[in-house]
Amino acid sequence: MSSSVNVFLTLDKPAAFLKQSALVSHSDQGVNVHVGSDSVENLRKIQKAGRHLDGQGYASVQLAGAGWDMESQWAFYQGFNSTMSDNTVAWNETDEGVASQLDDMRAANQFTRELVNLSAEEIYPLSLAERVSEHLKSIAPENVSARFIVGDELKNEGWMGIYTVGRASQHAPVLAVIDYNPTGDENAPVDYALVGKGITYDSGGYSIKPSEGMLSMKCDMGGAATLAGALSTAIRRGLNKRVKLFLCCAENMISGKAYKLGDIITYKNGLRVEVVNTDAEGRLVLADGLMAAGEAGAKQVIDAATLTGAAQMAVGNEFNAVFSIDEQAAALALNCAAQENELLWRLPLATWHMENTPSPFADCANSRPQKGGGAGGASNAAGFLLRFAPNDGQGWLHFDLAGAYQKSSTPMWAAGATAMGARTIAATLLAD
């Protein structure tokens, strides 16, 4: 007896005794997924069918018969992927090349999801940096090097955002600099810098979160994990550009050493920032990463973060949000998202958004002293980051990852990490 059930795509309507809206039906040959003529909607149906079969207790499937292209197989895998089990999907056997690409995508996806889903006891700043470095070195050992700036070294080198946010934790904060350089030339220019928010746990600090809001905050390093997955995917697809990955890693905790409301952080570039909300810590650490990207001379910069609840209010958990004042860079990101079948929406950002977090005591504040940062909170957060973006924001993309984590299961996703955004960013890196 086979250890897997065959799953087929069919244009046939469900049998008369079933609801005509039924996604799946069963036959002697296996399971049928009922699709239609709309290719985009079919991907949603197929992913939902994967969730449905996981919910019914299936653990191993073979994608069989005609109609399974790469995107439909990937949609099923994303739905069938379950947080608490080891479900397996055998790819359709008609195209070995597609199966090989899907294997690479699955490896990067599983790595990203595991990083986000593990508890903060297992993923803390240094362990996050080490796991990402080891993973990338396992793919391209000759082309990857890493440096970790840890604890007081951050203060000594001027990386005051990461140091300040992370100094209250028993786990020292870290700025990880991971260099993928396939050129063999140590003086080669950096084509892209990737800057990831790596808050491995976020209590909110003295602007403490309620218990239910804190429960999922192991996911607040989703930006770092997403960029690691994107770089892993791009390397597997043959990336030949030099890319530096900056992971801004800290735990935002409370102790006698914790930073406080009203404190002023003086950054390496001389900018002074008043802290009006210790739960708006992601932008404080990303500021260091963006300045580091500038020091590296990167031509293009992408940051990614689970940054604001305001972005989720705007686009829901089905989309990620992107911000840029560079029209060409924004268009490229949106085109890559469409190419990779990931949902991405551009939200407003203008240079005047930099003025939307004023302070009477410093050059600016890290937020507004209102719940969620007030109206336009996601754009105002992006405006804060624009103050630190190299090249006055030209060539810079900011991803607010509203869809990176599901607090509970949905018809499309299991609870936990989705890794949504990694494919888009990988495609952006690979674009000419």
All residues at 6 or more sequence positions from 8 whose CB lies less than 8 Å from its CB, including other chains: 29, 30, 31, 32, 33, 64, 65
Residues 131 and 71 in one domain: no
**Is the pLDDT assigned to residue 371 strictly greater than 80?**
no
| Rounded distance between C-alpha atoms, residue 84 and residue 235, angstroms | 29
Average pLDDT on 371-394 reads: 94
Domain boundary among 44, 66, 94: 94
As a three-state string, the secondary structure of the chain is: CCCCEEEEEECCCCCCCCCCCCCEEEECCEEEEECCCCHHHHHHHHHHHHHHHHHCCCCEEEECCCCCCHHHHHHHHHHHCCCCCCCEEECCCCCHHHHHHHHHHHHHHHHHHHHHHCCCCCCCHHHHHHHHHHHHHHHCCCCEEEEEEECHHHHHHCCHHHHHHHCCCCCCCEEEEEEECCCCCCCCCCCEEEEEEEEEEECCCCCCCCHHHHCCHHHHHHHHHHHHHHHHHHHHCCCCCCEEEEEEEEEECCCCCCCCCCCEEECCCCCEEECCCCCCCHHHHHHHHHHHHHHCCCCEEEEEECCCHHHHHHHCCCCEEEECCCHHHHHHHHHHHHHCCCCEEECCCCHHHHHHCCCCCCCEECCCCCHHHCCCHHHHHHHHHHCCCHHHHCCEEEEECCCCEECCCCCCCCCEECCCCHHHHHHHHHCC
100 in any annotated domain: no
Residue 284 belongs to a domain: yes
pLDDT score of 1: 45
Its pTM stands at 0.97
Domain co-membership, 70 together with 118: no
Q: What is the mean pLDDT of the chain?
A: 96
pLDDT, average across residues 53-67? 95
Residue 387 has pLDDT above 50, yes or no: yes
Mean of the pLDDT values across residues 5-23? 91
pLDDT at 409 over 70: yes
Same domain, 65 and 134: no
Same domain flag for 241 and 192:
yes
Which CATH number do you get for residue 379? Answer: 3.40.630.10
Query: Are both 88 and 121 inside the same structural domain?
Result: no
- Weakest-pLDDT range from 331-335, 371-375, 402-406: 371-375
Clarify whether residues 84 and 191 are in a common domain: no
Residues 35 and 155 in one domain: no
Report pLDDT for 370.
80
- Give the model's pLDDT for residue 295: 98
* Domain assignment present for 103: no
Task: Summarize pLDDT for 61-120 with one digit per residue, the tens.
Answer: 999 999 999 999 999 999 999 887 789 999 998 888 899 999 999 999 999 999 999 999
Same domain? For 86 and 122 the reply is no
Query: Do residues 61 and 5 lie in contact, with contact meaning Cβ atoms separated by under 8 Å?
Result: yes
- Which residue range forms the structural domain that includes residue 48? 5-94
Q: Specify burial of residue 119 (Cβ count, 10 A radius: 0-12, 13-18, 19+).
A: exposed
Residue 101 resides in a domain: no
Say yes or no to pLDDT of 2 above 70.
Answer: no
Q: 343-359 pLDDT, tens per residue?
A: 999 999 999 999 999 99
**Domain match, 86 and 115 both:** no
| Statement to judge: residues 234 and 120 lie in one domain | yes
| Last residue in a domain, options 35, 60, 94 | 94
Stretch 410-425: mean pLDDT: 97
pLDDT tens digit sequence for 199-256: 999 999 999 999 999 999 999 999 999 999 999 999 999 999 999 999 999 999 999 9
Q: How confident is the model at residue 373 (pLDDT cuts 50, 70, 90)?
A: confident
Q: Look at residue 52 and tell me if it is in a domain.
A: yes
Q: Residue 62 in contact with residue 38, Cβ under 8 Å?
A: no
Task: Establish if 99 belongs to a structural domain.
Answer: no
pLDDT value, residue 389: 98
Tens digits of residue pLDDT in 281-333: 999 999 999 999 999 999 999 999 999 999 999 999 999 999 999 999 999 99
The mean pLDDT of 27-53, rounded to a whole number, is 96
Residues 198 and 68 in one domain: no
- Whether 23 is covered by a domain: the verdict is yes
Q: Which of 94, 118, 150 is the last residue of a domain?
A: 94
Give the per-residue pLDDT at 73: 98
Report the domain count for the chain: 2
Backbone phi, then psi, for 220, in 5-degree steps? -75, 5
* 96-117 vs 70-80: helix crossing angle, rounded to 10: 30
Is the per-residue pLDDT at 280 higher than 50? yes
Do 78 and 194 belong to one domain? no
Residues catalogued as catalytic: 209, 283
The mean pLDDT value for 420-426 works out to 98
Residue 159 covered by a domain: yes
- What is the reported pLDDT for 3? 86
